[in-house]
Structure 1
Amino acid sequence: MHRSAPFLIIGHHRSGTNFLGELIQRNTAVACANEPFSMHTDFFRDNDLRPWSAAAYDQAVLHPELYSSPKIVLFLQELRKWLGSSPEGCRRGFKETLLYEKLPWLGEYLPGLRVIHLVRDPRAVTASVLDVPEADELWKYSVTVTRYLEEQLGHPPGDALDPFELCLHSIGIRWELARRSLAAFEHITVRLEDLVEQPEDALGRLMGFLDLEPTDEQRDFILDSQRESRGGRYSSYRSRDSVLNSWRSRLTEAQQTRLATGLRSFFEEYDYAR
């Protein structure tokens, strides 16, 4: 494996991807683009949870769905060029909260791509998603999740799902997509809670995956980011207690139970069933 191959940080919305992207860039050898697919085009937000296979990769226009979008193709070609031209000893990558269903295609678009899969307690993720008033406008779960359930899983359309159930399904769908696809990549799974509670070990594993050493700037950032919550909804600065425990008062007992049963395998896989 070419050690300067690009990397992808992927995690569900409200899992801490902003924090992780900022953390790794506290190492001056790392550059990480912020959501180039989902923030710089409407296309990938509108087509979230519409799977792309490896076989659908097209060398000329990247994917058949992009035939009529030459500007997006040009943008993605330039992105690939930047990702593949990191200086000696440096690492370039990007982070996304979408693209789980497009991982097979990404493997063809970016050969050698290494994946950092960030996970967080689904109870904390759900509480945080529900705390965003414009969540459906931003992430369109009522469209994308419902569409996936109907088109990919054969669930007949019925009564509209409420925001809680939509988020639960979103977490479950993306996790299952990750389970299917990540084995094809050199990858690592990182729990947000480990970066908070066991920062030295978790940071060492993370940077070791990129063949780099942790820096004092990264260690200081982890400690400083936990001192107090500040900076708004998308800030990386959240008190330790807020990151780990705020969901306990924001979700009802019925919601907590529903998540634990509906996402039982996720809870067990990542040791959240405590």
Structure 2
Amino acid sequence: SKIAFAGKTLTVSTAEDFDFSQVEVVLFAAGASVSQALAPAAAEAGAVVVDLSPAYRYEADIPLVVADVNDEMLAQAREQNLVACADASTVQLLRALKPLTELGPLQDVVVTQFQAASATGKSGVDQLAQQSVRLLNGLSPSEAAQAQIAFNVLPVSGQIQENGFTSEELKLMLETRRILADQPLSIQVTTVRVPVFYGYGQSVTVRSMQGLSAAQCHALWEGNDDISVQDSDDPQAMSPVAMVEGEPVMRLSRVREEMEAGGALSYFSVADNVRWGAALNAVKIVEKLLKDYL
């Protein structure tokens, strides 16, 4: 079949029938089961697989990468012909934290994440839309036994594990610890599902061994083209909804130092989890692979 994209007509065929030896890099963004079924064949054919699913994120011999954070791990790409992209929430957190390591080792990070319905893909977006329509028409939110996300806030995102954390919280904690393995880091995460279609918000408090000042952090963040520090007090500009329009960037706001002068810093970040956290990170990884490692 054919589809129109960016002014061109592209041919779409089944991945199972594709000869992966024809290409240098393959992007997988169809979920863990598809990656597990097809990525080994693509890697065996000589293509480097860049996988956006969680299928290979915890494999010790496969690099887990956030572009502009640990690009040096791409040097290992040819060992297994596979690179795992970190989750969008990890990308959002680490793109803000990594520059701060220039001021000294990071010690403690506490994150409250406000997660959009699109965290679960199209099904989550459809569920929020359908429940919203039903509630606005005086009906129950769902005919099925679903948690109400429309006009609601859910303190559980993912499956609750034996230690009390959810799978979404552990994912962010484990990926952060793996990528920032050189930091003496303690991280605590609470993830809340909110009735927003796209865009994650993260309320973060970070403590460094050497202390952090707002001015220093501003200077480090502003050196990145796709990170914007908001000086405005307009709450709309700080919201996930503002991320849907315009170029994909991460916006940082509410930057403030600890009142007790203990050296900790708090900030709020928002980013489009689909376009910025997932897609742009993967594209950057591919560009770096082609430029420096293949």
Ranked by relative contact order (alpha carbons within 8 Å, sequence separation 6 or more), the top structure is 1
* More helix, by proportion: 1
| Shared fold per TM-score greater than 0.5 | no
Q: State TM-score, norm by structure 1.
A: 0.31
TM-score when scaled to structure 2? Answer: 0.30
If each structure's strand is expressed as a fraction of its own residues, which one has the higher value?
A: 2
Tell which structure's C-alpha radius of gyration is larger: 2
